[in-house]
Structure 1
Amino acid sequence: MTVSSPRRVLLVSVPRSASLLLVKILNVHNQPHVLTNPGAGYFFFQAFMPAIRGGYMEIPLDQWTEAQKQEIKTSFEGCVENLEEFSEKAKNENKIMFAKEHAYWLVNPAVFQAMMSGTENEELFNTFRVRLSDAYGSPQTFSPSNKTVLPDEYLRSWQLTFIIRHPALAWPSMYRALVKIKEIGGLSERESNGFWKTNMTLRWTRLLYDWCLEQGDTPLLLDAEDVIHHPQVVTRFCEQTGMDKETLKFDWDGEPEEGNGPRMSKGNTEQQDMQLKINSIMVSSLASSSGIMKDKAPLTIDIAGEMAKWKAEFGEEAATRMEEAVLESMPDYEYLKARRLTV
């Protein structure tokens, strides 16, 4: 890079990984030396939604029109532009920029074409890659392990951090939320299926984590179990990101929620109202709590025993699919958990 990197922290999560709880404990909006947006991140939500609604997991990208591809590319560019505006403000105020994003939201849509075809189309990958200011280097590069839309040089300008949670806890929680969102008309069956395919996995988290290792960096990684049962780990997280550990809070009885999910930057009033309802579903457990709820993270998890519970709660078909997603995710989870920050 030709300029010094802004001091900024990107928390990479997956849905239902207790990332909102972590943000609550960090008390991000009241951190004296931190700047973030009202949602404490979710900048890339605006690119994720049109991608999901476009159905590129069902229709191969090479069958999309150029206009459809450009819509997604433009969405990614708008996300980065908004993120850069906040980063510049943080830099001018001599503050740390903080953002939380789900791992999948950064992934290049061409990854799915590669998964379906078994071969990578470099031209298709280039279609969605975001070109940034020359301040981040020229040319800007994408190493083979970088499956995001963001160049290596840009990713290296952030301190990447991660939070994970046991799949047997995270994925059922996500499914429960999806059911509720479908009930209020917030998602079609196809869109719900898209959320399932893209978010109930840790492959994107591991890819980005391993990319960090290739850069010679060992990023901070938290497990939700530790955040809940050993919250001192959050103090260590603060110490290593430059945040103020004196600002942490571990109870919040009666306090209103801040930054409770992504915002719609465009769309009609009806769409914005629906997003607020969806956000309410996603934060319902946290919003009704007065502090850390340890029962949300049992210390012992028996997947076979959980499977019996899923059959009773979700039915045979959904439970079977849940078991497959959990078992598929476990190698990545165990790999990442072994590298977590501990106290």
Structure 2
Amino acid sequence: MPGAISNDAATPAPAERVCGIYHITHPRSASNLFQNMMGRQPGFQYSSYKLFGAGFGALTQLQRGPLGEWPKEDRERLFGLFEAGFEGMQEEVEGAVRSGKKLFMKEHAVFLSAADKLLGRIYNNDNVAPLVVHERGVAPNKSSHTNPTSLPDSFLLKFQPIFQIRHPVLMFPSLVRAQMDVKVAGRPCDSICQVMLQLRDSRTLYDWYAAKTANTGIIPRVIDADDVMNDAASMRKLCLETGLNPDAIVYEWEERVVEDPMQARFLSTLAKSKGILKGLDAKGKSVEGEMEKWAKEFGREDAEELARLVERAMGDYEYLYGKRTVAEETE
């Protein structure tokens, strides 16, 4: 079997009493590849991007100015998208429980923050009351919000988190290209890129989960895109750590046609593949080695800003990389 580990029994068991997996990702982190590979897990149903509409709506309106200066109805409409997404997530959880299954849920880390947090990263003195949401059946005075997202603690602690990362030297320019192609943003200096091109959201949420481990038994796990593509043993170990079935990992699939233009762009590589494509990892890549390519592609000024954003994110990437699941023994 691919990636068999010599002693599976030595791998720490997953947390008990969780209702599923929370796959917390970043755009262009090869997260769709991971989803493909984990798409046939027995006993799971799948959910993704319930908060995308709220996050995308906020990010594409960053230029409007501080949220506190928006008309009340516009602000409430944007908050309503997040609230509706959260309602949908709770429905998915309850539906999975009724069906006797667990939920495999995916979201980009940045979209776990509502509009007040996202716009607040650009407008530091934005005077607006934060959006606070509560789980169904939980009284507001019993609802804790100590985590860095806009979701309640109790909801996040229903899941075993898997954080997926990728080297920023590949991930960030890939996102810039994709955003340019779908006319979402044009340059690394644009506000949307300033908010998106970071790994701080993943790191702070990872640290929050880790600080709760002693009380919850939930150990946050990290997988790097290079290991998803190249290290079957580490993928197997991740499954054993998180309650997934390592023997159900999918390594081959059929090409598919994606009708939605935006989805088609972001799924372009995966949709045309029949399995894991080699040569897409970060081995040997560096800002210095990529700089001239970026300058030719984006122009010198944008290449320098892209390099700055990559360097800014490297501390968080290296921190999370050091926490990643990696198999010590393979056969």
**What TM-score do the two structures reach when normalised by structure 1?**
0.82
CA-CA distance at 1:114 after TM superposition: 4.8
Native 8 Å contact 1:168 1:303 kept in 2? yes
Check whether the contact 2:176–2:185 (CA below 8 A) recurs between aligned residues.
no
Deviations 1:286-311 (A, max 9, x none): 11222212211032222111111111
In structure 2, the partner of 1:107 is 113
Deviation at 1:106, TM superposition (A): 0.6
Question: How do 1:115-264 and structure 2 match up within 5 A?
Answer: 115=121, 124-125=129-130, 128-135=131-138, 138-143=141-146, 146-182=147-183, 187=184, 193-216=190-213, 217-252=218-253, 254-256=254-256
CA contact (8 A) 2:21 2:161 kept: yes
Question: Partner of 1:334 in structure 2?
Answer: 318
Q: Which amino acid in structure 1 is aligned with residue 52 of structure 2?
A: F
Q: C-alpha distance in 2, partners of 1:207/1:172?
A: 23
* Equivalent runs, 1:23-38 vs 2, <5 Å: 23-26=35-38, 28=39, 30-37=40-47
Give the match's secondary structure for 1:221. strand
Larger helix fraction of residues = 1
User: In 2, distance between residues paired with 1:291 and 1:174?
Assistant: 22
> Could you tell me the percent identity over the aligned residues?
30
Assess if the C-alpha contact under 8 Å between 1:17 and 1:165 holds in 2. Answer: yes
What stretches of structure 1 of length at least 5 have no aligned partner?
Answer: 261-272
Deviations for 1:29-54, whole angstroms, at most 9, x for unmatched residues?
x32211014xxx11111211221233
Unaligned runs of 5+ residues in structure 2 are 1-15
Query: Where does residue 16 of structure 1 map in the other structure?
Result: 28
Q: Which amino acid aligns with 2:208?
A: W
Match of 1:322 in 2: 306
- Cα deviation, residue 120, structure 1: 8.6
- Secondary structure of residue in 2 paired with 1:295: coil
Deviation at 1:82, TM superposition (A): 1.1
Secondary structure at 2:105 match in 1: strand
Distance in 2, matches of 1:118 and 1:282, equals 31
C-alpha distance 77-118 of structure 1, shift in aligned 2 (>3 A): closer
| Alpha-carbon distance between aligned partners in 2 of 1:36 and 1:192, rounded to the nearest angstrom | 35
Tell me, in whole angstroms, the C-alpha distance in 2 between the residues paired with 1:118 and 1:175: 24
Q: Is the 8 A contact 2:251 2:276 kept in 1?
A: yes
Q: Can you list the C-alpha shifts for 1:207-238, whole angstroms capped at 9, x where unaligned?
A: 11111122124301101111112122222222
Q: Distance in 1 between matches of 2:123 and 2:19?
A: 39
Distance of 1:334 and 1:188 partners within structure 2: 27
**Shift in Å, 1:283:** 0.7
The reply on whether 1:295 has 2:295 as its aligned counterpart is: no
Secondary structure at the aligned position of 1:208 is classed as helix
Residue pair 2:163, 2:223 contacting (<8 A) in 1 also:
yes
Counting matched residue pairs gives 308
Deviations 1:262-291 (A, max 9, x none): xxxxxxxxxxx7xx1010011111112222
Distance 2:45 2:311 in 1: 38
Give the partner amino acid of 2:134. R
TM-score by length of 2: 0.85
Q: C-alpha displacement at 1:193, in angstroms?
A: 3.3
**Gap change, CA 1:9 and 1:136, over 3 Å in 2:** farther
Measured after TM superposition, the shift of residue 141 of structure 1 is 1.5
Q: Report the secondary structure of 1:124's partner residue.
A: coil
SS at match of 1:20: helix
Distance 2:120 2:192 in 1: 19
Shifted more, 6-15 versus 58-67: the winner is 58-67
In the TM superposition, residue 58 of structure 1 has moved relative to its aligned partner by: 5.2
Instruction: Kindly report the root-mean-square deviation, in angstroms, between the aligned alpha carbons of the 2 structures.
Output: 2.5
1:113 Cα deviation from its structure 2 partner: 5.6
Matched-pair contact (CA < 8 Å) for 1:51–1:72: yes
1:189 to partner: Cα distance: 5.2
> Conserved in 2, the CA contact under 8 Å of 1:221 and 1:339?
yes
